[in-house]
Chain A
């Protein structure tokens, strides 16, 4: 029905802010006429137009998927059988080819050019006393060919260059090859040198900046230091420092810990306690994405962010419940088995302190047990004997930063003479070791329970 289609378009426009005030009023009024539409409108205005469009497209597809299999079940079975037969035939074909192919043929392919140039007998002669394949090749090449050294040199060079092309980080391999070549091709150093000189540019082209830096490190110590000093300065040149920007919420309060990422990379940072962010970027035109749990993500070009105050709006949609498992994040509906679940509500009220380290105060004598013993020993027997019944005496004290005990409180249910006696003794207590938070002494409250009467 075009009526509902139209209404949907209007809701999208409404959410996008494309309607005039009058049109907005009309839609709002219209949506009030039926409870169904009124409630739906309530829900739909919680999300943005983009989200709604995306969600409706997704739902349209899900509905289609749900409907299709019902309709095409009969046809589907035919296709499935046909596909199965084709798949089986394919597998059989591949297996046939694999088993027919003799392993020898694979070997000859690997050694390639060499076997073409040399009769098989020479290979068997050369192989026993070689360690590196590189060595084998050079030997094989000059023994039978007997041509002027320059020609051989060329072919060797050709091979090495092609090898360079395949593997960029062959510095060590090349060195080995050089050593071998020098051993066996004495007198042709000139050719070798020329070869290295020619090879260098090829390598240069293929190596990345970092690999080049690595190569420099292999050079003598002096140049090593130089290259190390040079590397960061080159990096600094490439990264422009973004002037600090501030991230705030709708009320202008700074948002600490907002994740800032250069889009398409893992390069990023978080805002500090004042909501300030500064990040080095390669290109002032690159896009930074700001994300913060419970807030609508923001994406801006780096140059637009610089020096500005960026405000993030709260996401009205409730946080999804996610189940965190060892190897990733899954939707709750996908998880089987027992899982513990914490919703946003469960977590928020618990204002546990962060990573600050807290150490409890330590009583004189090193333990609460020793301290209790110290108190029991000093109790006036005549007072204690007046209360033969079992008594639990809960004493609350405050340990000051200097270790002195103050503010001794005893529950009113304890008979006054007893309470007075405990107060007297505890007030004479030697100094405690005060509680520590982040290595600074802090005031702490301690509760100790004493029991007197029948043992």
Chain B
């Protein structure tokens, strides 16, 4: 992403670069494409592997995976495919690493974080019925989760502000919001199912 050199292919889209690489596998093209997402890849690796050195190695290994796998697959959306590759790589590494077993146990709960790719109910405003259910579910949340979610979504405070207001650690705030969101979703979905059954 920031290598000092001016990126030759700045004005090309991901899809264009993929096309170009497929027709003529120039490593510079792939390198350029990869650099766009290297920070994200590194971030995900840091989340799972929790070590700077391991994460750096993983970023390089994932690049090798790309070189190997790209010619074999029809990739429609590079970014989401890369996310899959990155996650898989990290999970495989944790599984393979015997010493990683402890780490893996520790983060296994975080690992099945809800997918936010679809818009979360809390962000949908139109559906009144949904809002109704949302309200009911918010009441069911644990106190800390509810307050964090409220402050973030309704008052639009950043983690740091919430942390100061509730006298909590910033990381805790983040996980309260994440878990609160997950619980909300589960709650709303179960209510929807119940309603469907009633209908």
Instruction: Evaluate contact between B50 and A59: CB separation under 8 angstroms.
Output: no
Is residue B51 contacting chain A, with contact meaning CB distance below 8 A?
yes
- Bound form: Cα–Cα A59–B39 in Å: 10
Could you say which residues of chain A place their CB within 8 Å of the CB of B26?
71
Most buried by B among A21, A39, A331: A39
**CB 8 Å contact bits of B101-134 with A (1 = contact, 0 = none):** 0110000000001011100000000000000000
What's the least CB distance linking B4 to chain A, in Å? Answer: 7
Contact of A59 among B4, B40, B59 (CB under 8 A): B59
Say whether A357 faces chain B, with CB atoms less than 8 Å apart. no
CB distance from A45 to the nearest CB of B (A): 8
Docked-complex contact B28 and A56, CB < 8 angstroms: no
A5 near B: Cβ within 8 Å? yes
- In the complex, which range does the number of interface residues on chain B fall in? 35 or more
* Assembled-state Cα–Cα distance A316/B16 (Å): 39
Residues of A within 8 A of B47 (CB): 39-40, 42-43, 46
Q: Are B42 and A44 in contact (CB under 8 A)?
A: yes
Stretch at the interface among B68-76, B135-143, B158-166, B187-195: B158-166
- Asked if A317 and B51 make an inter-chain contact with CB atoms under 8 angstroms apart, the answer reads yes
Measured CA separation A333–B97 after assembly (Å)? 13
B151-181 vs A, CB cutoff 8 Å, 1 = contact: the mask equals: 0100011111100000000010010000000
A56 contacts B38, C-beta separation under 8 Å: yes
* Chain A: interface residue total (CB-CB under 8 A): 55
Residues of B within 8 A of A55 (CB): 42, 52, 55-56
A4-B51 CB under 8 A given contacts A21-B160, A43-B46, A341-B99: no
**B contact residues around A44 at 8 Å (CB):** 39, 42-43, 46
Q: Please measure, in the bound complex, the distance between the C-alpha atom of A59 and the C-alpha atom of B117, giving whole angstroms.
A: 28
Which of A28, A34, A346 is close to B116, meaning CB atoms less than 8 Å apart?
Answer: A34
Main secondary structure of the interface of B (DSSP, over half): helix
Q: Is the CB–CB distance between A21 and B36 below 8 Å?
A: no
Q: Is B18 an interface residue (CB 8 A)?
A: no
Stretch at the interface among A62-70, A108-116, A228-236: A62-70
Of B36, B44, B113, B161, the contact of A40 (CB 8 Å cutoff) = B44
By secondary structure, the A interface counts as helix
How many Å lie between the Cα of A78 and that of B57 in the bound state? 31
Residues of chain A within 8 A of B183, CB atoms compared: none
Residue from the list A2, A39, A346 in contact with B10, Cβ < 8 A: A2
Q: Are B99 and A59 in contact (CB under 8 A)?
A: no
- A133 at the A/B interface (Cβ < 8 Å)? no
Indicate if the CB atoms of A56 and B1 lie closer than 8 Å: yes
Residues of A within 8 A of B63 (CB): 63, 66
What separation, in Å, do the CA atoms of A453 and B63 have in the docked complex?
A: 72
Given contact pairs A36-B83, A43-B46, A44-B46, A5 touches B2 in the complex (Cβ within 8 A): yes
Q: Which residues of B contact A272 (CB under 8 A)?
A: none
A5 to B113, CA, bound (A): 27
Other 8 A-B pairs with CB < 8 A, given A25-B157, A317-B51, A321-B99: A11-B39, A21-B160, A34-B116, A39-B87, A40-B40, A57-B3, A320-B52, A343-B102
Residues of B within 8 A of A (CB): 1-5, 10, 13-14, 26-28, 31, 34-48, 50-53, 55-57, 59-60, 63, 79-80, 82-83, 86-87, 99, 102-103, 113, 115-117, 152, 156-161, 171, 174
Which residues of A are in contact with B by a Cβ distance under 8 Å?
1-2, 4-5, 7-8, 11, 21-22, 24-25, 28-29, 32-47, 51-52, 55-64, 66-67, 70-71, 317-318, 320-321, 331, 333, 341, 343, 345-346
